[in-house]
Structure 1
Amino acid sequence: MADILLQIAAVLIFFSIVLGVLRLIIGKTVVDRVVAIDMLTVVSISMIALYAHLSGRFLYLDVALVYGVLSFLAVLAIARFLEKGP
């Protein structure tokens, strides 16, 4: 049962990557593209967490946590830059 759930999670992650890249390409505004990049970072964090579970090396969860914090700070910096305008 657990193997089936892990396979379903992997398929959902794959579809999330495809949809995120499509949104990144098709996005009409800069905000759409920033949201797509943020979504892709969240999906990559879930990939890291899934890999950590599959490999049994939970050190990768610390990597995912640091990556999430850095991603959050980057989105805040970009939002601040877009708020001021060019």
Structure 2
Amino acid sequence: MTTVYTITFVLLAVAGLLTLARALAGPTNLDRIVALDVLVILIVAGVTVEIGMRNEGWNIALVAVVALLGFLGSLTAARLVERRGTTR
């Protein structure tokens, strides 16, 4: 299982770097918002894999709260961009 966890962390890290590059180079604000939302999801996935690796379940509620806050943050930012009418 150590190999599976290592491969998972490497794939999550590569996805995180690609997402971070998209957030920095995104031509519009909506692209950046989506990239940051995906980055939050990747962080939550990494922490969840860490929980599974250590076989500890005491911080699952914390992971759920971070995922919910990430979703609400991206939703709020998207509504703000929609109301302003500008995407750049």
Q: TM-score, normalised by structure 2?
A: 0.88
Equivalent residue number for residue 84 of structure 1: 83
Amino acid at match of 1:14: A
Over the matched positions of the two proteins, sequence identity in percent amounts to 25
Q: Is the 8 A contact 1:13 1:47 kept in 2?
A: yes
Q: TM-score, normalised by structure 1?
A: 0.90
Deviations 1:7-33 (A, max 9, x none): 110110110111011101111110111
Provide the secondary structure at the position in 1 that maps to 2:56: coil
Mapped partners of 1:8, 1:68: distance in 2: 23
Q: Is the 8 A contact 1:48 1:61 kept in 2?
A: no
Amino acid at match of 1:56: N
Equivalent residue number for residue 37 of structure 1: 36
Equivalent residue number for residue 4 of structure 1: 3
Runs of 4+ in 1 over 4 A off after TM superposition: none
Deviations 1:31-69 (A, max 9, x none): 111011001000000111011112222122211111111
Amino acid at match of 1:18: L
Q: Is the 8 A contact 1:48 1:60 kept in 2?
A: no
Structure 1: segments with no counterpart, 5+ residues: none
Greater RCO between the two (CA within 8 Å, min separation 6)?
2
Mapped partners of 1:82, 1:22: distance in 2: 21
